[in-house]
Chains A and B, each alone.
Chain A
Amino acid sequence: MPPREGTYGLLAEFRTPGDLVRAARQAHEDGWRRLDCYTPYPLEEAAEAIGFHRNKVPLVTLIGGLLGGAAMFALETWISVIAFPLNIAGRPTYSWPAFLVPAYEWTILWAGLSAGFGMLALNGLPSLYHPLFNAPNFRTGATTDKFFLCLEALDPKFDLVESKAYLEGLEPISVVEVEY
């Protein structure tokens, strides 16, 4: 667990997405691993630059969908064959083609719910507080038009003075220290 006091990290602001990507790629190449970029829209190049290539959302979605479909099909079969069999002109009670439609809908339902809420859970959201919101320039534009790179204090390479100098070498607009 991260410590809850002291410095969270150093936050550097960049003017353009290109500057951010260049800096992030440099930092990742120099061995930084506890770092993150903050952008007002999905910037794939920045994720690539910090070495974040894959995520688990598709797996969660697949599991959710399969469980949903299987659950509905099992429920329909149980109801129609065991719990409440209807003898309509001697037709078979296990009429699986008719059961496919609700099972199909539930596959989509639970896959979709897993994708949406699984994404939030994997992101650690909801979390209404985050140390970054303490940074003076973060709340004024991280979700509008500013591009940030954050080197986190948990990285073994982190040193308040040296890392600040390192970040300034990447030509940001500003570097600020973020506290918990």
Chain B
Amino acid sequence: MATSEVNIHDRVDPATGEYRVIAPGESFLSVTEKVTRIVLTPHTPLGWFGFFAVAGAGTTMLMVALTWLFLKGVGIWAISQPVAWGFAIINFVWWIGIGHAGTLISAILLLFKQGWRNSISRFAEAMTIFAVICAAMFPVIHVGRPWLGYWLLPLPLTMDVWPQFRSPLMWDTFAVSTYATISVVFWYIGMVPDLGTLRDRAQSKIAQYFYGILSVGWRGSVRHWMRYETASLLLAGLATPLVLSVHTVISFDFAVAVLPGWHTTIFPPYFVAGAIYSGFAMVLTLAIPLRKFYHLEALVTERHIDNMGKIMLVTGFIVGYGYGMEAFMAWYSADHWEAFTFWNRAFGPMGWSYWLLVTLNLFIPLTTLWVRKWRTNMIFMFAMSIIVNTGMWFERFVIIVTSLTRDYLPSSWGTYRATKWDYMTLFGSLGLFTFLFLLFVRFLPMMPMNEIRLLLPAAKVRAKTGPEVSK
């Protein structure tokens, strides 16, 4: 347990002089063993089946809710006038925000050469993909006639109608579809060498064929590796502006509208920071049980959890700045409607949701995450991840619902109370996410072995081992 009197020799690797990110005593073989045994074992742990059953039940609930939705229409949800967006868009923004931490870890932290990201990047990317799948479902089912979802694409339809490219909703289509595609490419390309490892270590014929085909014949030639490294770096460089643009575009869905409470320029940075905030919370929600369950404490160390806590602290403050700026602008704009919207958010009939989000997103995390002792306490951090994720869901609830229920015309004011179908879809999407994630953990390498090998002292080529030629 890290305390204030940390022994420097525990934290610095004597072989390389760098800060340790994985526990001492690991070798190429032991790292490979630890990751591949999870996938290649013929004995799936019973606990996995337990979680899989629960997640499967959640997915089934989602299917039931969707079937009923397709039969009856969106009227089974609570959406109506004036709140026409409701849970579907709240869930959409929430899920896509969760995905952003995966890209941040895999792309931005790669560009910043943060070695500690190596062991958590793969499953964070997987989290991104599954979160984007859950997110992308919501706008499609929210349009009411999902079988016409392809109208969003610029296809020469039979009616000769083309999309309106000046609308942020249209930009969303391109931002989210690009984000999904690039995330999958980044994830898969990153996995190819590890699939090669699985192919070489698999005992059964089926596994050898399966991983053999997926690994596209990777053999570890250094020429291949150099192109691979260049491609990874370029993909990271491309994913970085992409991830910032995706939530920016999503915030335009709100900010471009003239509705009080939405029409504000703070939205893009505040949405992106909030996305990363909740995304890191979700990485913790997944990482803490995974490292315990699969005994990966040596690869996902306390330092990882600690660092993620620090990033949450920073992004939490940016989110807090966003809330503060909203309140400030409500006063400083001297706009009657803006001021009313803010007052209504905090003290109106749905004021409880505003204070809930302030408590969960600001008061609890931003006062406690300062303490290293707590940041390295797994139970505390797991609880914190749930708190922040709940808080961030309520942030979207507040933005969407409180703004829509009371806009300019008091005669069109209304209220919003979610139906059981809304809740079934929300919790069902959590089930689908967990379902997909469990399949990933069982059948694909959940940590990038080749990148973890790079962190080992044995991977360093010392200068004196070269020939005497000058460099």
Contact = CB atoms under 8 A, between A and B. Distances in A.
Interface of A: 16-19, 21-22, 25-26, 29, 36-47, 50, 52, 55, 57-58, 61, 65, 72, 75-76, 79-80, 83-84, 86, 95, 98-99, 101-102, 104-106, 108-109, 111-113, 115-120, 122-123, 125-130, 132-133, 138-145
B178 A105 contact: yes
14 contacts: A25-B469, A39-B225, A41-B450, A44-B229, A65-B238, A84-B162, A106-B174, A109-B177, A111-B238, A112-B182, A116-B189, A123-B223, A130-B217, A143-B200
Given A21-B461, A52-B226, A101-B249, A118 B454 contact: no
Contacts of B189: 116, 119-120
Contacts of B188: 116
A133 B32 contact: no
Nearest to B194: A143
Contact of A40 (B199, B212, B228, B453): B453
The majority secondary structure among interface residues of chain A is: helix
A103 B221 CA distance: 36
Nearest to B171: A101
B222 A46 contact: yes
Interface in B402-461: 450-451, 453-454, 458-461
Given A43-B222, A86-B164, A115 B238 contact: yes
A83 B164 CA distance: 12
Contact of A42 (B162, B219, B450, B458): B450
B451 A41 contact: yes
B239 interface: yes
B222 A57 contact: no
Given A102-B171, A108-B182, A139-B200, A43 B225 contact: yes
Contact of A109 (B182, B199, B213): B182
Contacts of A76: 165
Contact of B467 (A22, A61, A75, A98): A22
Interface centre among B161, B217, B466 (most CB of A within 10 A): B217
A25 B231 CA distance: 25
B27 interface: yes
Interface of B: 27-29, 32, 154, 160-166, 168, 170-171, 174-175, 177-178, 181-182, 185-186, 188-189, 192-193, 196-197, 199-201, 212-213, 216-231, 234-235, 238-239, 241-242, 245, 249, 450-451, 453-454, 458-462, 465-467, 469
Contact of B219 (A16, A95, A122, A133): A133
A147 to B, nearest CB: 10
Given A45-B461, A108-B241, A144 B29 contact: yes
Closest 5 A/B residue pairs (Cβ): A18-B465, A145-B28, A126-B216, A119-B231, A84-B162
Nearest to A122: B227
B319 to A, nearest CB: 24
Given A42-B229, A80-B165, A128 B461 contact: no
B412 to A, nearest CB: 24
Contact of A142 (B27, B200, B242, B458): B200
Contacts of B164: 86
B459 A41 contact: yes
B185 A116 contact: yes
Contacts of A127: 216-217
A145 B27 contact: yes
Nearest to A127: B217
Contact of A83 (B162, B171, B235, B460): B162
Nearest to B176: A105
Nearest to A75: B154
Contacts of A79: 154, 162-163, 165
A119 B217 contact: no
Nearest to B182: A112
Given A42-B454, A115-B235, A144 B178 contact: no
A102 B164 CA distance: 12
